[in-house]
Amino acid sequence: MSQTRISPVRGADLIFALKTFGAATLALVIALWIDLPRPYWAMATVYITSQPLAGATSSKALYRVLGTITGAAASVALIPNLVNAPELLCLAVALWTGLCLYLSLLDRTPRSYLFMLAGYTLALIGFPAVTDPASIFDTAVARTEEITLGIICATLVSTLVLPRSVAPVVGAKVEGWLAQARRLSRDVLLGGGARTEDQVNRLHLAVEALEIDTLATHLAFDRLADHNAVRGLRALRLHMLLLLPLLGSVRDRLAALDDRIRPELAELLQRLARWVMAESEDREPVSALHSAISALRPALDANTSWDQIMTASLLIRLRELIDISEDCRALNTAIAADADSSQVALTFRTEEGIEPARHRDHGLALWSAAGVIVAILVSCAFWIGTGWVDGASAPMMAAVACSFFAAQDDPAPSIRNFAIWSLVAIIVVAVYLFAIIPAISNIEMLIAALAPAFILFGILIAHPSTTPIGMALGANGATLLALQSTYNADFESYANSALAFMIGMAAAIVLTRLVRSARAEWIAQRLLQTNWTNLAETAERRGHNDRATFVGLMLDRLGLLAQRFAAIPEADRSELAGLSQLRVGLNIIDIRRARHGLATPTLSAIDAMLDRLAAACRNRAAVPMPPDLLACIDNAMTRALDEPPARPKEDALIGLVGIRAALFPEAPPYDAHADHPRSLVA
């Protein structure tokens, strides 16, 4: 079985490696033909930009070109004006790189490459040009042409020669996700599986949904993908995100009812479990399930018992589960058939056209920017202090290394590994430069000689686990070869450049350790606290948040937390896996729908509860949820039960029940006849 799975991957990896080497040689030959000063930059750029999936290469191509142009323009503006003040020039380059890295880390889309390249391109172009500032414009134009040529060659070969589309990968992941979601829905409805196992499965689905979201970003740039599929996936993605907290809500309500579920409700749950797993042609009509739910819904008044409230809440969530599940199937069918998803009749309406928000950590981004600034300045101080002619490579590589790995919790290990494999590239290139290339007399023999090593580098790039190794070998190998139209390699010059290169990498490692490295536990705690702060803001705004944006933001952080799950304290893991923060926020947003139809005493009770909830969320790192918050929730429920039968009453009760179940799952049942303190509403 392992051979069946691995063999096709190896074939695809080899094809990618051959395509990448072909694009690199094409870029090199064109650069030599049009007499660009450093044609090897075009070759190296191909190995930096190429991705196994065509859409992933195309999605970043334009931004990489724009980033290169921006960085080149900055070098033209800064170098001639500050070349006579080297300390000020180094500071300007460091600050520019830090600013661009800060913006890049906040963006977290393919557009982030524009900012990152704009940052370190200034260092790549500017530092070697300080000895000849008069030619900076020509140098900047040449670097832009070389890098743009490499990007164009990589993109054209990736999209025209045996392209590997993102669409089948996304389609397979969506099919797998929906199949897992159906099984999880069945287990929740039938009460199967342990609560912990259910939470872990939901967490896994949340992470998978975010991976699909990342791939979907590239799908829009894939020329092989149908525009209907892109539009349909956007709508499907919103339904997928909303399904996860909904399953948590259903599970909580079933757990609260426990063995007090009425026989007719148990029969309905069995019907829904069969319906969820059935093929489309064998499924019971949705209208019949809607009717069964309506027939079981109890009337809610001031004398309603807790079981009746939970049953009514459960039935409403079950109807939403039916609607979302049906829409997911319909949208997935439309995507598979390349049909226009806008023509699909959806039952559960979401906020169409809203892109899920992404988490931004301004503090961590500023910290990373400070790290690259310090690394560049220290490398520049070493370069200027020693008067080393070839020392410009040190701040260049410090800028590149610190920028490339800045998104990691602790970039130092990755920079160290990159440096180790860069040293391997230095040795390999030395063999080529001083043992193999001197005997080569034409371009054909040169390409044949380079093929074994660079095809191997491409194979390494194709495997996610070895991508950094292949990138270090391919990009640095092409750069260090420094191929020109004539052979002019000099061992002393090569050794100097290689030494400066490694000093820059060493400076990046040491200074990253001192300035930037962070523990996964610390990052996880920041994310958790940010979630509680976001929830407090939602409560203070009385749920005046866009539902899809809130879900996207919370699940985006959930994906970041899942990567650090082992570093999260045991007490917070269950809360995280249960999506309690997300579900509370959605219930607050749902309560907002009821605000304009409620009486003043009820509205005052709900507002008091939201204020207490906001205060508790802001202090969540220090204390557990306070008991008086539970009293506030119960008081608001008592007020809501006094409301006349109408949709606002239903929305308010469902939201309050959801908040209570998510924050106080072990609390005693609500008692409508208990004496809830009226002072809490004041």
**pLDDT per residue as tens digits for the range 584-643:** 887 887 787 777 788 888 889 998 998 999 888 888 755 578 888 988 998 998 888 888
Contact between 130 and 409 under an 8 Å Cβ cutoff? The reply is no
- pLDDT value, residue 28: 92
In angstroms, the CA 508 to CA 515 distance is 10
- Sign of the CA dihedral running 326, 330, 331, 332: positive
Contact between 520 and 567 under an 8 Å Cβ cutoff? The reply is yes
Residue 24: pLDDT band by 50, 70, 90 thresholds? Answer: very high
Backbone angles phi, psi at 629, to 5 degrees: -65, -40
Highest mean pLDDT among 22-31, 254-263, 547-556: 22-31
Residue 675: pLDDT band by 50, 70, 90 thresholds? Answer: low
- Tens digits of residue pLDDT in 182-206: 888 898 888 765 566 666 777 778 7
- pLDDT value, residue 410: 81
- pLDDT value, residue 104: 93
- pLDDT value, residue 6: 34
Q: In one letter, which amino acid is 637?
A: M
- pLDDT value, residue 658: 86
Question: In this model, does residue 2 exceed pLDDT 50?
Answer: no
Domains of the chain: 2-162+361-515 (no CATH), 166-343 (1.20.58.220), 520-681 (no CATH)
Q: Which two tokens stand for residue 305?
A: 């018992």
- Tens digits of residue pLDDT in 338-349: 776 667 777 776
Which DSSP letter does residue 347 get? S
Contact between 530 and 576 under an 8 Å Cβ cutoff? The reply is no
What b/e string do you get for 580-614 counting C-beta neighbours within 10 Å, with b at 16 or more? bbbbbbbbbbbbbbbbebbeeebbebbebbbebbb
In angstroms, the CA 187 to CA 464 distance is 33
The DSSP-derived string for 619-657 is TTTTS---HHHHHHHHHHHHHHHTSPSSHHHHHHHHHHH
CA distances from 133 to 81, 88, 528 (A): 9, 15, 49
In angstroms, the CA 652 to CA 602 distance is 9
- Tens digits of residue pLDDT in 517-553: 767 677 777 877 888 888 888 888 765 655 666 766 7
Residue 330: pLDDT band by 50, 70, 90 thresholds? Answer: confident
Rg (CA), the chain: 30
Question: In this model, does residue 295 exceed pLDDT 80?
Answer: yes
Mean pLDDT confidence for 501-530: 79
Contact between 481 and 429 under an 8 Å Cβ cutoff? The reply is yes
SS3 assignment, position 344: coil
Q: CA nearest 318: which of 300, 344, 297?
A: 297
Contact between 229 and 335 under an 8 Å Cβ cutoff? The reply is yes
Contact between 453 and 428 under an 8 Å Cβ cutoff? The reply is yes
Angle at 314 (CA atoms; ends 653, 637), nearest 5 degrees: 20
- Tens digits of residue pLDDT in 453-476: 999 999 999 888 888 899 889 988
Q: In one letter, which amino acid is 404?
A: F
- pLDDT value, residue 678: 44
CB atoms within 10 A of CB 204: 15
Residue listed under structure tokens 């050794």: 495
Highest mean pLDDT among 85-99, 162-176, 228-242: 85-99
Least confident range from 60-74, 193-207, 381-395: namely 193-207
- pLDDT value, residue 192: 66
Mean pLDDT confidence for 169-175: 81
- The number of angstroms, rounded, from the C-alpha of 21 to the middle of its chain's C-alpha atoms is 29
Question: In this model, does residue 3 exceed pLDDT 50?
Answer: no
HEC per residue, 200-227: HHHHHHHHHHHHHHHHHHHHCCCCCCCH
Which value, to the nearest 10 degrees, does the dihedral of the CA atoms of residues 41, 42, 48, 53 take? 180
Highest mean pLDDT among 86-100, 238-252, 662-676: 86-100
In angstroms, the CA 586 to CA 297 distance is 22
- pLDDT value, residue 1: 33
CA distances from 245 to 199, 305, 330, 612, 658 (A): 11, 25, 21, 23, 11
Residue 504: pLDDT band by 50, 70, 90 thresholds? Answer: confident
CB atoms within 10 A of CB 206: 24
- pLDDT value, residue 546: 58
Mean pLDDT confidence for 162-189: 83
Q: In one letter, which amino acid is 527?
A: L
- pLDDT value, residue 278: 86
Angle at 633 (CA atoms; ends 631, 636), nearest 5 degrees: 110
- pLDDT value, residue 213: 74
Residue 18: pLDDT band by 50, 70, 90 thresholds? Answer: very high
Least confident range from 131-135, 160-164, 355-359, 418-422: namely 355-359
Mean pLDDT confidence for 240-268: 83
Q: CA nearest 246: which of 660, 587, 640?
A: 587
Query: Percent of the chain having pLDDT more than 90?
Result: 18
Contact between 169 and 253 under an 8 Å Cβ cutoff? The reply is no
SS3 assignment, position 309: helix
Q: Which two tokens stand for residue 167?
A: 């669409």
What b/e string do you get for 324-363 counting C-beta neighbours within 10 Å, with b at 16 or more? bbbbbbbbbebbeeebebeebebebebeeeeebbbbebee
What pTM was estimated for this model as a whole? 0.79
Angle at 50 (CA atoms; ends 139, 165), nearest 5 degrees: 140
Question: In this model, does residue 680 exceed pLDDT 50?
Answer: no
Question: In this model, does residue 143 exceed pLDDT 80?
Answer: yes
Question: In this model, does residue 227 exceed pLDDT 80?
Answer: no
Which value, to the nearest 10 degrees, does the dihedral of the CA atoms of residues 410, 414, 416, 417 take? 160
- pLDDT value, residue 451: 93
- pLDDT value, residue 547: 62
238/678: higher pLDDT? 238
Mean pLDDT over each residue of the chain, to the nearest integer: 81
**Residues, the chain, total?**
682
